[in-house]
Structure 1
Amino acid sequence: MAADSPDPGEEPPDGPPAPPSRRDETADEPPHPAFAEYATESVPAAAVGSPGKDGRLELRFEVDGNGETNLVRDLVRAPFHVSGTLGHDPLPEAETVYVQSPTGGVAQGDRHAVDIEVGADAVAHVSTQSSQKVLSMARNYAAADVSLSVGSGGHLDYVPEPTILHGDSRFCQSVTLELAPDASAVVGEVVVPGRLARGERFDFERYLSRLRVRRERELLVDDATHLRPADADPSAPGVMGEFAVLGTLYVLTPASGDTSDDAELSDRLHEVTNAETDSDGRGDEDGETVRASATRLPNDAGVAVRALGHRAETVTAALRAAWDEARIELLGVGAPDSRRP
């Protein structure tokens, strides 16, 4: 939704920095050149009464006079649904929202727009109730545009459940994060290249996920995962090798000016992820092994953790160990317990 531009002499409004907007792009313009070949393919009209192709989710969190975070705005359009907030965060003043979807998954032609704003000093955790299934496609593609912003002294955990790519699916996700100088965030992603229990593995057509992080409009991080099995074998050495599941956790830290802070955090996250994956001493043959590592992000932006494994559950567990450690560093308390059984 467009807003009037402020006069040059006006003070900037309170709250989180405005996220970079791409809403003025035409509906037919692909989010990445790699998807241009699909954009011209028309999609059959949906049946009357079926969920809309253009899903929308808007969430805004603000702190009240008691220092507690509240969800002050929620706007949803199918396939998104929000039933309310959950107060189960180990940080009493924080707030949690689980996003639900009543549909069977992401279909061809779907366009999803997600905007999450966390105000000054607010602490919010946003996740999904279940895995996101990207369904098989014959035409066009599906895209998600996720815009996140965190105000001064605020913190956001955006850690959805895994994305499962069905055979012949095409999915492009763009995540932009705008941070105030003293704000922090944790952004997670796990991608599963098929319904592994059914023998699907790298049967999807194209997958692209890109994260861009800015602080005061300065680009700090631009990282992407782009897989197209028909062009390059994902199981090749140096890509995913023997593993099927890929997970990434980005820990974005406040600007401190001390480069040793992120180096120490990187070492700790590397240690806890490997402690999680090696604690039982099992080998590759049981399908439980995870290979994980942590590295500093450029521009003193924080730390990235990557994990490869055979199952979504084991990769998620490794990233959760890193998330828990990072949250202790950033907020003094660990990550919320999972609500999934």
Structure 2
Amino acid sequence: MAADLPDAQADRDEPRGESAQPDAPHPAFEPYAAEPIPQAAVGAPGKDGVLELRFAPTEGGTKLVHDYATVPFHVSGTLGHDPHPEVETVFLQSPTGGIAQGDRHDVDIAVEADALAHVSTQSSTKVQSMNCNYAAAETALSVGAGGHLDYVPEPTILHADSRFYQGLTLDLADGATAVLGDIVVPGRLARGERFDFERYLSRVRARGPDGLLFEDTTHLAPGDADPATPGVLGEFTVYGTLFVVAPDADTAALSDELHAAVSDATARAGATELPNGAGVAVRALGDRAETVEAALHAAWDGARRELLDAPAPSGRKY
């Protein structure tokens, strides 16, 4: 659940005891961090992926002015098919089979003032099965004054026995907006995997000029607590969230609009205002990734029309 908890945040930022592993992003991952892996070491070439993107406004619209990528990231260029004529689009590619144990990924995406950008992935992110250590991805997003970023990757698929941490931080300047999407598929459902992963932890944190806007955490560990219990995922399998971060918007009206946009979706979905007037969160639950994606796309389309006066792009990846 989204929350504005600065005191809890301060507690988390305090140094932990000597037994804490410095590499662990959360106490639940400390035992994993101490486990050596038999293949290339943590942080070795090919396992320490780095991605940097920077978008800036030009006379011809927004352009990608800086990009740097190491394996497993690959940037093949930009696409100009967005319905908004000034939006620049980048689809991230990977030449590998997915995220493996010991992988550490760092992504930094900056949108300068008045620039408009859309970043997604070419296909789903597959978190492979693991027998030691864990995988982690840290994403830092920043949007300058008057800018906008759509960061809407394809779903994350958690294979059996996987252990995955992902952290995302968003920094907004005055007048900036962003749409953040995240869909989690708990296994290769066609193979009968359902909640066979070991641990999944996701943290989303958004900050504005005056400090923390909201923080949202999802922590699933099927071996400790069944995700299918009421109040967690219940009867559903696939979980998705769309954060529409727009501190200057009429969030009450936007929440009503986005709730109406998803009310007829096949997936179970709804919208609610974020704390501190930060924007709106849309949640969707379903039995298949496609139905959750469709619900969140409907909400994204509504948000795009409100914020940019243009629809969301289609789902084609070419």
Report the TM-score, using the length of structure 2 for normalisation. Answer: 0.91
The Cα shift of 1:211 comes to 0.3
User: Could you say what secondary structure the match of 1:321 adopts?
Assistant: helix
Q: Cα deviation per residue 1:9-56 (whole Å; 9 max; x = unaligned)?
A: xxxxxxxxxxxxx9xxx9952111111110000112339xx9611001
CA distance in 2, matches of 1:115, 1:44: 29
User: Could you say what secondary structure the match of 1:115 adopts?
Assistant: strand
Is 1:158 the counterpart of 2:151? The answer is yes
Is 1:324 the counterpart of 2:296? The answer is no
Instruction: Select the residue among 37, 42, 45 that pairs with 2:36.
Output: 42
Consecutive unaligned residues in structure 2, runs of 5 or more: 1-12, 14-19
Task: Check conservation: 1:143, 1:171, Cα contact below 8 A.
Answer: yes
Task: Check conservation: 2:243, 2:279, Cα contact below 8 A.
Answer: yes
Instruction: Select the residue among 136, 141, 155 that pairs with 2:134.
Output: 141
Q: Cα deviation per residue 1:59-107 (whole Å; 9 max; x = unaligned)?
A: 000001x151000000000000000000001111110000000100100
The Cα shift of 1:128 comes to 0.2
CA distance in 1, matches of 2:22, 2:164: 15
Correspondence 1:96-175 to 2 at 5 A: 96-175=89-168
Is 1:62 the counterpart of 2:56? The answer is yes
Instruction: Select the residue among 288, 298, 312 that pairs with 2:275.
Output: 298
CA distance in 2, matches of 1:121, 1:169: 40
Residue number in structure 2 paired with 1:201: 194
The Cα shift of 1:228 comes to 0.3
Residue number in structure 2 paired with 1:76: 69
Residue number in structure 1 paired with 2:254: 265
What is the CA RMSD across the aligned residues, in angstroms?
A: 1.7
Residue number in structure 2 paired with 1:5: none
Deviates more, 1:115-124 or 1:246-255: 246-255
Q: If you compute each CA radius of gyration, which structure gives the higher value, 1 or 2?
A: 1
Q: Cα deviation per residue 1:248-272 (whole Å; 9 max; x = unaligned)?
A: 000000435xxxx101110111111
Task: Check conservation: 2:91, 2:317, Cα contact below 8 A.
Answer: no
CA distance in 2, matches of 1:223, 1:104: 29
CA distance in 2, matches of 1:137, 1:87: 38
CA distance in 2, matches of 1:311, 1:215: 34
Query: How many corresponding residue pairs?
Result: 298
Instruction: Select the residue among 230, 239, 247 that pairs with 2:240.
Output: 247
Is 1:234 the counterpart of 2:227? The answer is yes
Task: Check conservation: 2:21, 2:33, Cα contact below 8 A.
Answer: no
Indicate the percent of aligned positions where both proteins have the same amino acid.
Answer: 67
Task: Check conservation: 2:204, 2:217, Cα contact below 8 A.
Answer: yes
Q: Cα deviation per residue 1:293-337 (whole Å; 9 max; x = unaligned)?
A: 100000000000000000001100000000000000000001111
Divergent runs of 4+, >4 A: none
Residue number in structure 2 paired with 1:52: 46
CA distance in 1, matches of 2:136, 2:100: 10
Consecutive unaligned residues in structure 1, runs of 5 or more: 1-21, 278-288
**Could you tell me which amino acid in structure 1 is paired with residue 26 of structure 2?**
H
**Could you tell me which amino acid in structure 2 is paired with residue 307 of structure 1?**
A
**Could you tell me which amino acid in structure 1 is paired with residue 84 of structure 2?**
L
Residue number in structure 2 paired with 1:31: 25
Task: Check conservation: 1:51, 1:103, Cα contact below 8 A.
Answer: no
CA distance in 2, matches of 1:136, 1:152: 42
Residue number in structure 2 paired with 1:7: none
Task: Check conservation: 1:51, 1:79, Cα contact below 8 A.
Answer: no
Task: Check conservation: 1:220, 1:301, Cα contact below 8 A.
Answer: yes
CA distance in 2, matches of 1:174, 1:245: 19
Report the TM-score, using the length of structure 1 for normalisation. Answer: 0.85
Task: Check conservation: 2:21, 2:30, Cα contact below 8 A.
Answer: no
Residue number in structure 2 paired with 1:180: 173
Task: Check conservation: 1:178, 1:217, Cα contact below 8 A.
Answer: no
